[in-house]
């Protein structure tokens, strides 16, 4: 996509500083041969947009200052070369029409929303799981957006400080700021914040309006229906890992016309015994889908094979609803999940 330059070109001071910091970091982490490859390879500077034009030194509405999980960052202009780690940040950015600002993504963990698939496939995939620090640096980003806390794992060399030392700004999904409470409002606030950082506030506002309207259409459809008791099955055999009352999943269930039978669990996730599941008589089991092909079928097979669960209404009637894990994370997916789950809980309202 980019052609090698056969003659020297000037590098802006900010890019020169990033390049020097990046070089120092790579030299310490890689062999001399790999470092040489990185230093002499083809590519654009950090302050150059993907079309080869210099990014503007100032933009309308900037500077923008954002406090994120204890890190305060002032953006003098919108990022031009972003890398996303995990799928939900990528989908959020693509929903804001920011494909041209993305230089890489990593760790896809479920099928991408159909309307975003083409754009998602156009962005280079850096790794199937979390990429190494050096892999991210090779993409020459000026911004890294992490979906889970593990995006910036210190023990794997990807701390936010390490990126800052290389002259790269970072942002972590607000779900991992230690709030211990996640809501639909967080999804809307996240979208608006990313919209501010990238200078697309109007797009962000419109996207939030569209997602709110999507949820409202669903809630109107199921209004007046009795709340269906739902058990969320994430994983586990000796015990079950389920969504607690502080999870976004619980709010999604409620908006879809259901009731999380473990809403009294005072955490985002927690382990419960199978005896507790039996006692609470869920009529529907929402299976969280992640981990690759066959994951859901394995979970269904396990639930159906347990004699102790045979009397549970959801198991007896084989009422399972599949929910991608990404649909329960702060981003654009939760509003879609409300409608998808409601169709499983109240199918008669959607015929």
CATH number for 150: 3.40.50.1980
pLDDT confidence of residue 2:
30
Question: Which has more pLDDT, 40 or 339?
Answer: 339
Look up residue 54 and give its DSSP letter: B
35 pLDDT band (50/70/90 cuts)? very low
251 plus 311 within the same structural domain: yes
Tell me if 248 is assigned to some domain: yes
- From 42-56, 116-130, 167-181, the region with the lowest mean pLDDT: 42-56
pLDDT average, residue stretch 45-55? 37
45 pLDDT band (50/70/90 cuts)? very low
pLDDT average, residue stretch 27-36? 39
Q: What is the mean pLDDT of the chain?
A: 86
171 plus 296 within the same structural domain: no
168 plus 20 within the same structural domain: yes
Q: How far out from the chain centre does Cα 230 lie?
A: 24
**How many whole angstroms separate alpha carbon 78 and alpha carbon 351?**
45
End of a domain among 111, 143, 178?
178
The residue range of the domain holding 47 is: 13-178
Share of the chain above pLDDT 70, in %: 83
239 plus 153 within the same structural domain: no
Residue 87 burial (CB count, 10 A)? 26
**How many whole angstroms separate alpha carbon 78 and alpha carbon 242?**
39
**How many whole angstroms separate alpha carbon 37 and alpha carbon 32?**
9
DSSP H stretches of helix in the chain? 13-29, 32-40, 87-95, 117-122, 133-138, 160-165, 184-197, 201-222, 248-255, 274-280, 295-305, 313-316, 333-345
Domain count, the chain: 2
End of a domain among 178, 210, 239?
178
37 plus 164 within the same structural domain: yes
151 plus 20 within the same structural domain: yes
**How many whole angstroms separate alpha carbon 295 and alpha carbon 285?**
15
Share of the chain above pLDDT 90, in %: 78
Q: What is the pLDDT of residues 138-180, one digit of tens each?
A: 999 999 999 999 999 999 999 999 999 999 999 999 999 987 7
Q: What is the pLDDT of residues 281-327, one digit of tens each?
A: 999 999 999 877 789 999 999 999 999 999 999 999 999 999 999 99
With b meaning 16 or more CB within 10 Å and e meaning fewer, what string describes 232-247?
bbbbeeeebebbbbbb
> What length does the chain have?
351
Q: What is the pLDDT of residues 240-271, one digit of tens each?
A: 999 999 999 999 999 999 999 999 999 999 99
Q: Is 69 left (phi over 0), alpha (psi -120 to 50) or beta?
A: left
251 plus 152 within the same structural domain: no
64 plus 163 within the same structural domain: yes
**How many whole angstroms separate alpha carbon 318 and alpha carbon 235?**
18
Q: Please state the pTM of the whole predicted model.
A: 0.82
Residue 86 burial (CB count, 10 A)? 24
Tell me if 300 is assigned to some domain: yes
pLDDT confidence of residue 292:
77
Whose CA is closest to 188, among 223, 161, 212?
212
Tell me if 126 is assigned to some domain: yes
pLDDT confidence of residue 58:
53
Tell me if 5 is assigned to some domain: no
End of a domain among 178, 209, 239?
178
Tell me if 341 is assigned to some domain: yes
pLDDT confidence of residue 153:
97
Tell me if 184 is assigned to some domain: no
17 plus 164 within the same structural domain: yes
pLDDT average, residue stretch 106-112? 91
Q: In a 3-state reduction of DSSP, which class is residue 278?
A: helix
58 plus 166 within the same structural domain: yes
Whose CA is closest to 62, among 77, 73, 72?
77
21 plus 134 within the same structural domain: yes
Report whether 345 contacts 258 (CB < 8 A): yes
Question: Which has more pLDDT, 101 or 41?
Answer: 101
Tell me if 205 is assigned to some domain: no
Q: What is the pLDDT of residues 60-86, one digit of tens each?
A: 889 999 999 999 999 999 999 999 999
156 plus 234 within the same structural domain: no
Tell me if 296 is assigned to some domain: yes
């Amino acid at each position: 996509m980019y052609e090698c330059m056969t003659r020297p070109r000037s590098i802006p001071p900010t890019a020169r500083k990033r390049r020097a910091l990046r070089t120092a970091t790579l030299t310490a982490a890689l062999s001399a041969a790999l470092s040489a490859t990185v230093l002499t390879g083809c590519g654009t500077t950090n302050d150059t947009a993907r079309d080869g034009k210099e990014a503007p030194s100032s933009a309308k509405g900037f500077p923008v200052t954002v406090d994120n999980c204890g890190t305060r960052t002032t953006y003098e202009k919108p990022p031009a070369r972003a890398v996303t780690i995990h799928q939900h940040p990528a989908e959020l950015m693509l929903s804001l029409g920011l494909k041209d600002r993305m230089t890489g993504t990593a760790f896809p963990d479920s099928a991408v929303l159909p309307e975003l698939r083409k754009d998602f496939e156009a962005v280079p995939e850096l790794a199937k799981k979390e990429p190494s620090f050096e892999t991210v640096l090779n993409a020459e980003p000026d911004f890294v957006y992490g979906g889970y806390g593990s995006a910036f794992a210190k023990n794997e060399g990807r701390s936010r400080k390490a990126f800052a030392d290389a002259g790269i700004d970072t942002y972590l999904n607000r779900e991992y700021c230690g709030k211990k409470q996640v809501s639909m409002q967080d999804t809307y606030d996240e979208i608006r914040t990313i919209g501010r950082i990238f200078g697309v506030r109007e797009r962000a506002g419109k996207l939030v309006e569209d997602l709110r309207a999507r949820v409202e259409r669903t809630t109107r459809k199921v209004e007046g229906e009795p709340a269906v008791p739902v058990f969320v099955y994430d994983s586990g055999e000796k015990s079950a890992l389920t969504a607690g009352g502080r999870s976004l999943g619980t709010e999604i269930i409620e908006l879809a016309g259901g009731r999380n039978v473990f809403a009294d669990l005072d955490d985002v996730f927690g382990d419960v015994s199978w005896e507790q599941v039996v006692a609470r008589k869920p009529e529907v089991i929402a299976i969280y889908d992640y981990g690759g092909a066959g994951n859901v079928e394995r979970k269904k097979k396990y639930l159906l094979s347990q004699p102790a669960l045979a009397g549970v209404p959801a198991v007896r009637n084989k009422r399972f609803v599949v929910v991608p894990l990404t649909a329960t994370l702060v981003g654009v997916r939760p509003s879609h999940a409300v409608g998808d789950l409601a169709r499983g809980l109240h199918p008669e309202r959607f015929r």
